[in-house]
């Protein structure tokens, strides 16, 4: 009879240790999962901030490209006017020399 109590007691202790181990693993894994979730959220927030910064830089770059194009158009217009004036002066000078 004592042997059966000892056997049931040993089985009870093993079952209690097994349940304790399952509970410990469950809480540990839950805590690790929570940590990983927090880290993932922080990482996604960081990516979003860097995307916002990149978008602002891209918009600024587009504005600067617009300004550069505007300046290029202005300088092209000035070169065209300079060419027209040079042709007009050369025509006037040629006319003056051919007149005499």
Query: What would the pLDDT profile of 1-32 be if each residue is shown by its tens digit?
Result: 778 888 888 888 999 999 999 999 999 999 99
**What residue ranges do the domains of the chain occupy?**
1-100
Distance, first Cα to last Cα, the chain: 146
pTM over 0.95: no
SS (H, E, C) 51-88: HHHHHHHHHHHHHHHHHHHHHHHHHHHHHHHHHHHHHH
Residue bearing the bigger pLDDT, 99 or 41: 41
Which single residue is written with the structure tokens 């587009």?
Answer: 62
Which helix (DSSP H) or strand (DSSP E) does residue 100 occupy? none
């Amino acid at each position: 009879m004592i042997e059966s109590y000892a056997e049931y007691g040993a089985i009870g202790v093993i079952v209690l240790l097994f349940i304790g181990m399952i509970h410990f693993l469950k809480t540990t894994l839950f805590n690790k999962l929570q940590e990983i979730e927090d880290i993932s959220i922080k990482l996604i927030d960081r990516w979003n901030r860097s995307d916002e910064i990149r978008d602002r830089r891209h918009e600024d770059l587009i504005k600067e490209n617009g300004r550069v194009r505007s300046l290029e158009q202005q300088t092209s217009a000035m070169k065209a006017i300079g060419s027209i004036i040079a042709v007009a002066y050369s025509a006037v000078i040629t006319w003056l020399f051919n007149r005499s």
